[in-house]
Amino acid sequence: MKKSLRTLVYAFLVGAFVFIVYYVAAVVRGPKVEGVSWNPIVAAVLTIMGIASGAAWGVGGELRRWKTRDAILAANLALVFGLLFLGWTMIWDLAKPLNALIPGVRDSVYGFWFLAGLVAPYIIRKPGAAVVAETLAALAEWLAGSQWGFTLLISGLIQGGMAEIIFAAYGYRRYKLDTLMLAGAAAGIGSLVVDYFFWYAQLKPDVLLIMLIARIISGAILGGWLAKVIGDGLVHSGALGNFPIARESREKI
């Protein structure tokens, strides 16, 4: 009963958070500021995705299981990746000509924006790491002046939430390369759902399909694979001390 109640609470809180952010962006700040208009169907779909993300988080455990060092590391990673995400916008702009060759293929560079929600759980290995890190990174990117506006918080939460679902499905016990790549691919799916409702509803189905495939592949490689490379690199540098990833590395020696 306690576990079920916790899952419901997490689902409600995250769903409510997504709804409020969308309302503020679309109604309070308005389309002239955010480029997003209010739509009840969009609000419902995004809220449902938020509920699913919260439920996945709630099934696995609670933030009270985190240690102080976990929270500090997640916050630091989020800040670093938030600034890197802002810089990645230049790569996104440079890749725009790719769409002239094959519409939608530019999304093959999108996976970099999932890194916070993959590196953090790979290192910390606690429930909520993907959602927390990816959402905080989106917040840092927005505060740093991103052109995408307040809606970044929804994108970050859904991307982290989709990755969280994969880690939760494995009981927060498996963090192999295939798990990270699958989590990155899931983040790619979630990101396109959000972007579709905000900006891409007018695109043709074949273009959306190319974008989806590109984001899944990019999420798996630029997200999952690169997250493992970064995490392993930090372990070998000795920067992670007694975090679970470091203990696992020592046990393999």
pLDDT-based confidence at residue 62 (cuts at 50, 70, 90):
low
Q: Which tokens belong to 227?
A: 């997250």
- Averaged pLDDT of the chain: 86
What's the pLDDT score for residue 59?
58
- Taking residue 199's Cβ as centre, other Cβ atoms within 10 Å add up to 13
d(CA 209, CA 196): 11
pLDDT at 4: 57
Query: pTM to 2 decimals?
Result: 0.83
DSSP letters, 191-209, are HHHHHIIIIITTS-HHHHH
Do residues 67 and 118 make contact, with C-beta atoms less than 8 angstroms apart?
no
Residue 248 in this model has a pLDDT that exceeds 70: no
Q: What is the DSSP letter of 219?
A: I
Can you list the alpha helix ranges (DSSP code H) found in the chain? Answer: 2-23, 31-34, 40-60, 68-94, 98-101, 116-124, 129-143, 152-169, 177-195, 205-218, 226-236, 244-252
pLDDT 10s digits, 20-35? 888 888 888 888 877 7
pLDDT of residue 1: 47
Q: What is the pLDDT of residue 175?
A: 93
CA atoms of 243 and 241, how far apart (whole Å): 6
CB 121 within 8 A of CB 160: no
Instruction: Write out pLDDT tens, residues 111-161.
Output: 999 999 999 999 998 888 898 899 999 999 999 988 888 888 888 988 998
Q: What's the whole-number mean pLDDT along residues 199-228?
A: 94
Percent of the chain with pLDDT over 90: 44
